[in-house]
A and B are shown apart, each in its own frame.
Chain A
Amino acid sequence: MSANRRHWLRAAGASVAGLWLAACDRLTQDPTVVGVLRRAERLTYRAQRAVTDRKALAREFAVADISRDFRANGSTRPDSEAYQAMLADNFAGYRLVVDGLVEQPRQFSLGEIRAMPARSQITRHDCVEGWSSIGKWKGARLGPLLDLAGLKPTARYVVFHCADTLEQTLDGTGQYYESIDLIDAYHPQTILAYEMNDATLPVKHGAPLRLRVERQLGYKQAKYVMRIEVVDRLDAVDEFGQTRLGRGRGGYWPDRGYEWYAGI
């Protein structure tokens, strides 16, 4: 092959590759394409719901399996003054607010939560990034806790408002929050953890309370839970046309392109 022809071939190859890559990037930014991809995501979600027993338990591990290097992601220390004050006080003044579509809005101190029906479990935490760590969690079961407030018949989702702000935004949508449906809320392994590996839950892992909703990815395991709000929809808008909860997709990361149902 002559040098000229080789050069020509290489240039042709490079431009085909370049066009292909540019096309891929363009498609990712095209709203119609993203719409189609999102519809496939709903298909994935429905297919998983169809084959999955919603009551199936996540695998529980032995003490020997516990990770010594459990990684902490996202916020590792909320910087709000309110949180810092509670932390300085060892969360003595902390009150978990339960409101929204409940018969009786409630507030619980950590002492009250520790006295509620509890569960311990050694489970695998799967980060959306791809890594896994195994930890032991102890906490109040969410189902009985919700029953203390009593759900209204229109209740469909449970929203967790957190103390940490991951992104500074003007509209406040950088505040961390997450949400689950009622089947997951009443799943026996769904707990509000106050202990990790037999010790008080560390700040970097979400003190004083962290949601454990096993069978879903790490970003669903909301840390620094301050308030539980029961709602009928996640994309509700207020009188100004603003979404009431973040950007209306049910969680900080779902608002930014991750799946709301993080079972995949």
Chain B
Amino acid sequence: MAGKTKVLIRRHTLVTRITHWLNVLAVSLLLMSGLQIFNAHPALYWGAKSTFADPWLSMTKQEIGGEPRGITQVGGLTLDTTGTLGWTGREGMREARGFPAWATLPSWRDLGSGRMWHFFLAWLFVLNGLVYWLWGLLGGHIRKDMLPTRKQLRLGHVLHEIGTHARLKFPKGDEARSYNVIQKATYLAVIALVLPLMVVTGLCMSPGFNATVPWLIDLFGGRQGARSVHFICAGLVVAFVLVHLALVLVSGVWNNMRSMITGKYAIETEGGAA
């Protein structure tokens, strides 16, 4: 009875799986159309208005030593990003634009189409998010699967989890039945903080909405502040997705993919008495 047995458990419900993949579609296209919109004025400011001479972030084409270069400036930092940001594309086919053609929807410069896509996808994103949240709150998914247990919140356990994560050792057996505390904290930060902030800051960029709910934009120090927070949150989403994909790859890519498609997730149990 000492051998290890693989058992399939029910990991993700149908609602989780459907909303997850709709979100993948919506967020990736929102990102690409968002970069198209950003490219119309690839500079960010704080406060209510643009101080054109002094953005905190900008992507420009500049002549340096008689040669055009893509220059990205973030705060006091100046980076040469020729080919990728500011002066983009392959040698000989370069264009002066913030993000390159491969990152935007559509690939060519077209603010009108970018906005049309963005506002359409925002509906998909918001409705999908509402379904997830309503179902998650009423059906217990948030409480049972997402909120850390008291045991998980003990400092010793959190430090232990950070240690095992850093060595890319993932929970096995019964511990793999539920999300670990780092997973729970990250997922909660994304679904409860970053994604709702994207919606709120997005609404704050509408002058019509500003007049209706004037106090909301003050939370971000004004419209340009809201635009900056919108961009930063998009960056956080990209960072989350990159780490998420990397961890999906190293913690058993086929098992993870199967669980998000069919719902079934394989875990190893001691003695086969599952």
Contacts and interface: CB of A to CB of B under 8 A. Distances in A.
Interface in A200-242: 214-217
Interface centre among B41, B51, B116 (most CB of A within 10 A): B116
A53 interface: yes
A28 B108 CA distance: 11
A217 B210 CA distance: 12
Contact of B112 (A21, A71, A258, A263): A258
Interface stretch (A30-38, A75-83, A190-198): A30-38
A216 B208 contact: yes
Interface string B95-116: 0000000100111101111011
A69 interface: yes
A134 B116 contact: no
A44 B211 CA distance: 16
Contacts of B53: 69
Contacts of B119: 40-41, 44, 264
Contact of A28 (B41, B49, B105): B105
B29 interface: yes
Q: Interface extent on B, as a size class?
A: 35 or more
Interface string B3-23: 000000000000000000000
A28 B117 contact: yes
B257 interface: no
B199 to A, nearest CB: 13
Contacts of A56: 211-212
Interface string A61-77: 10001010101000000
A132 B48 contact: yes
B35 to A, nearest CB: 12
Given A51-B212, A264-B209, A24 B116 contact: no
A130 B40 contact: yes
B214 interface: yes
A67 B32 contact: no
B49 A124 contact: yes
21 contacts: A17-B102, A25-B106, A28-B106, A40-B123, A41-B119, A41-B120, A48-B209, A51-B212, A59-B210, A69-B51, A124-B49, A126-B205, A126-B223, A130-B37, A130-B38, A133-B49, A253-B112, A257-B113, A257-B116, A258-B115, A263-B208
Given A36-B120, A58-B210, A264-B205, 15 more contacts: A24-B29, A40-B120, A41-B119, A53-B211, A56-B211, A61-B48, A69-B51, A128-B40, A128-B111, A130-B40, A130-B227, A131-B50, A134-B49, A216-B208, A259-B115
Closest 4 CB pairs of A and B: A263-B208, A257-B112, A40-B120, A129-B40
Interface of B: 29, 32, 37-38, 40-41, 43, 45, 48-53, 102, 105-108, 110-113, 115-117, 119-120, 123, 205-212, 214, 222-224, 227
